[in-house]
Structure 1
Amino acid sequence: MRPTKSINNMTAKISKDERKAREIAEKQVQAMGTSKPEPVISMNEAELAIFEKYANLNDSFNEFDSTSLSLLVKSLYRYNEIDQAIEELDVLDDRRAGLIRQASIFEKSIQQHSAALSIPLTSRLRMANDMAKIAIGEKQLEQMNNQQPQEVNPLLALLYDDDDE
């Protein structure tokens, strides 16, 4: 599945109605989360600094991203602690292998939480696209319902009358 682009970044040709519907839908989706993310777990000062740095990197992060961002920061911090401990140990130390396995686990966790944070923007744009399609469909249905009934062709009326007899 291709990532969905913002209407401002689209190069495809679309109708004026579709463009307008997409713009309205994107504004609605963007308005859903205008708040900043907040840590959802306790953090020390270093972790809070990392959290704030990441939170400020992307304007589209909002309160719904708080959990993924908090877990990403915790995993990054713990990975860094383990990595420093590995560096301090002798290469032949038996504890080193266990720390490397733990670091590998945190690497996977970091990748998962990073991926979770990249999904919201794409999901929001996809949602805006879906909302625009629905709005256009509703507009077309409304137009179809508002059409004046077509006058019956008198010749067809005679033909149908003859069939009844």
Structure 2
Amino acid sequence: MRPAKSVSEMTAKISKIEQKERENAEKQVKALGKSVPEPVTAMNDIELTIFEKYAALNDNFNEFDSTALSLLVNSLYQYNELNVAIKELDILDDRRAGLVRQQATYDKAIQQHATALSLSLTNRLRMANEMAKVAIEEKKLANMEAPQVQEVNPLLAVLEARKHAK
């Protein structure tokens, strides 16, 4: 998939309406990037440290990424705690299998939350372009649904007036 371009970088000819809608959507998406993610769940000191490191890794994270980032950090912490507990148990211990299953569950959760956070700036610009397309289609539909005012042909109006005048 090609990287999305900002409206200002586009070389393709687009209509003024499409350009305006893309610029509006792009402003909305770029405005999201100016905030900082905050934890949405209670976290201990280790989790907060992990959260801050992850938040610093990507400049595109914003407050809307807070939930996915918080859940990712929580899952990572739980995964690590299970890993420590598994290592402390004897390899033949019956409790070990249950802990390994729980760890696999957290592994899947980690992958899901990491995927939710993978919206790069390019992906966010692509999303802005899609938002603009939707807005344009909505305007087209609104114009189609609006009552059509039929223009009166002045010659027909004169003929109708003469017809009724007789």
What TM-score results when the alignment is normalised by the length of structure 1? 0.68
Measure, in 2, the Cα distance between the counterparts of 1:46 and 1:16. Answer: 52
Q: Which letter maps to 1:7?
A: K
Alpha-carbon shift at residue 87 of structure 1 (Å): 1.8
Report the AA paired with residue 126 of structure 1: M
Q: For residue 25 of structure 1, what is the aligned residue in structure 2?
A: 25
Supply the distance in 2 between the matched residues of 1:95 and 1:37 (Cα, whole angstroms).
37
Residue 133 of structure 1 and its aligned partner are, at CA, apart by 6.3
CA offset digits 1:17-56 (Å, max 9, x no partner): 5567534431232114521010011111111111011111
Q: Which residue of 2 aligns with 1:15?
A: 14
What SS class does the counterpart of residue 37 from structure 2 fall into?
coil
Q: CA RMSD in A?
A: 4.2
Give unpaired runs (5+ residues) of structure 1. 143-151, 153-165
1:61 aligns to what? Answer: 61
CA contact (8 A) 1:51 1:69 kept: yes
Alignment of 1:1-165 (within 5 A): 5-8=3-6, 13-15=12-14, 17=16, 18=18, 21-119=21-119, 122=123, 125-131=126-132, 134=135
Deviation at 1:116, TM superposition (A): 1.8
Runs of 4+ in structure 1 off by over 4 angstroms are: 8-12, 16-21, 135-139
Instruction: For structure 2, list consecutive stretches of 5 or more residues without a partner in the other structure.
Output: 144-152, 154-166
Distance in 2 between residues matched to 1:4 and 1:40, nearest whole Å: 34
- Alpha-carbon distance in structure 1 between the residues aligned to 2:93 and 2:117: 37
Identity %: 51
* Amino acid aligned to 2:130: N
Q: Is contact 2:51–2:69 with CA below 8 Å preserved after alignment?
A: yes
